Structure 1
């Protein structure tokens, strides 16, 4: 894929995630300056603010294992920068012209997986996460991430 296509894919992934938050009744905004947060998600009635970092990848088929993989890169510096408002990482994958159920992981949980469970591999200031999708499961570094699919528990539905 070209660099230009990757920009289109990344923006499409971000917009698809934004639409899911809107459907849950949350307001969404794109910061004018991206310093690690792609989306601000706000509960208007209470002022509750959540920060979201979207990572988008295209699935790569693995005929040998009858699975497919998606690779993501996360900045080590940003992941370790724990502030009072945690970032939620949303990993979205495009497979066969459809979006898969997003994998949604709070920053502190993803950091624990990286530091305690050795999930991902560090290189040049980034952590590379390779997700394998097979038999309705999502595996990353031999850890089951399936329970993080559609993990909108921190974004309860808001009725308007």
Structure 2
């Protein structure tokens, strides 16, 4: 049986695609490869933004930089690109970088650039969720691993 494809924020694999040009390797993500086929992506890069790039935060439906530049359009393009990848590879699960204006799930920075978190999702997480993709942040890695195992068991029984 083939491994389940899971969309993953490329920065969590250590790829240097974050706004500051760094990766953000999360311990345990590499081990996830034993359970599934990871499909890495960076929505900001898919949307045409450079790396490094100015930090940005959600302000309602918009994404803006600290200087007030509206970058909603490239973030939206990136979200659509991530969704296309999910559809292409058949991803029903995603592991995304928490707090990000693209990938954040459950909580994101509030748009004041004061490092204050608020309830909400990044544009990519929102887009994927609206299309039925289950989204997990890196702090929920154990839960994602269990979900992958459940789905594998369901497929083998079905």
Same fold (TM > 0.5): no
TM-score range, shorter chain: 0.3 to 0.5
What TM-score do the two structures reach when normalised by structure 2? 0.33
Name whichever structure is richer in strand by fraction: 1
Name whichever structure is richer in helix by fraction: 2
